[in-house]
A and B are shown apart, each in its own frame.
Chain A
Amino acid sequence: MFDRFNENKNCLIKIEFDGTVLDALEGEMVASVLMAAGIMNFRDAPVSNTPRGPYCMMGVCFECLVEIDGVGHQQACLVPVRSGMSIKREKAKRLISDDLVC
Chain B
Amino acid sequence: MTLCVDVVIIGAGPAGMSASNMIHEYGGRAVILDEQSEPGGQIYKAIDRVMRDRPNELSWLGSAYHDGARLTKKFRSQAKDYQPGSMVWHIECRNLDGLYNIFYSQAGVSKKIETKYIVIATGAMERPVPIPGWTLPGVMTVGAVQSVLKNSGMYPSGKLVLAGAGPLVLQLASQLIGAGISILAILDTSPKGSFLKALRHFPRALFAGDYLYKGWNLTNKIMQSNIKVYRNVTELNASGDGRLQNLSFKVNETKHCLKADTLALHEGILPNVQLTRLLDLEHVWSPRQRSFSPVVNSWGETSLSGVFVVGDGAGVSGARTAEYSGAIAGIIILERLEYIKESQRDLIIEDRKFRRLLDEGIRPFLDTLFPAPERIGEVPDKTIICRCEEITAAEIREVVKKGCSGPNQAKAFLRCGMGICQGRMCGTSVTEVMSKALEKKPADVGAFRVRPPIKPLSLEEIVTLNDN
| A residues with CB within 8 A of B | 1-6, 25-29, 32-33, 35-36, 40-42, 45-48, 50-63, 65, 71, 73, 75, 77-80
Contact = CB atoms under 8 A, between A and B. Distances in A.
A102 B154 CA distance: 46
Nearest to B158: A1
B35 A1 contact: no
B144 A32 contact: no
Nearest to B126: A56
Contacts, number: 139
Interface stretch (B195-203, B289-297, B315-323, B420-428): B420-428
Counting chain B residues whose Cβ lies within 8 A of the other chain, the interface size class is: 35 or more
Contacts of A57: 140-141, 143-145, 147-148, 151
Contacts of A77: 147
A27 B156 CA distance: 19
B98 interface: no
B135 A52 contact: yes
A56 B37 CA distance: 17
B287 interface: no
Contact of B42 (A52, A58, A78): A58
Given A47-B390, A60-B125, A73-B456, A29 B137 contact: no
Contacts of B134: 55
A62 B272 contact: no
11 contacts: A2-B155, A4-B152, A29-B148, A55-B140, A56-B126, A58-B125, A62-B419, A62-B421, A63-B135, A63-B387, A78-B37
Given A32-B154, A57-B144, 5 more contacts: A42-B137, A58-B42, A58-B147, A65-B420, A71-B108
B6 interface: no
A58 B35 CA distance: 10
B261 interface: yes
B54 interface: yes
A26 B143 CA distance: 22
B137 A51 contact: yes
Contacts of A71: 108, 458
Contacts of B348: none
B272 A27 contact: no
Contacts of B155: 2-3, 5
Contact of B141 (A4, A5, A47, A55): A55
Contacts of B382: none
A59 B41 CA distance: 12
B157 A62 contact: no
B415 to A, nearest CB: 9
A2 B158 CA distance: 8
A56 B137 contact: no
A45 B386 CA distance: 12
A80 B261 CA distance: 25
A29 B144 CA distance: 12
Given A2-B157, A5-B179, A78-B36, A32 B148 contact: yes
B427 to A, nearest CB: 11
B46 interface: yes
Among all A-B residue pairs, the 8 with the closest Cβ atoms: A53-B137, A32-B152, A57-B144, A40-B137, A57-B147, A3-B157, A2-B154, A62-B421
A63 B456 CA distance: 13
A5 B57 contact: yes
B388 interface: yes
Contacts of B419: 62
Contacts of A51: 136-137, 242-243
A40 B243 contact: yes
Interface in B187-228: none
Contact of A35 (B35, B49, B154): B154
Contacts of A2: 148, 152, 154-157
Given A54-B140, A56-B144, A61 B425 contact: yes
A45 B135 CA distance: 10
B139 interface: yes
Given A4-B154, A27-B49, A41 B57 contact: no
Contacts of B158: 1
Contacts of A58: 42, 125, 143-144, 147
B49 to A, nearest CB: 5
A88 to B, nearest CB: 16
A73 B461 CA distance: 14
Contact of B152 (A27, A46, A55): A27
Interface in B147-188: 147-148, 151-158, 179
Nearest to B46: A27
Given A1-B158, A40-B137, A55 B153 contact: no
Nearest to B135: A52
Contacts of A1: 156-158, 261-262
B467 interface: no
A2 B138 CA distance: 10
A63 B139 CA distance: 11
B55 to A, nearest CB: 11
Interface in B48-90: 49, 53-54, 57
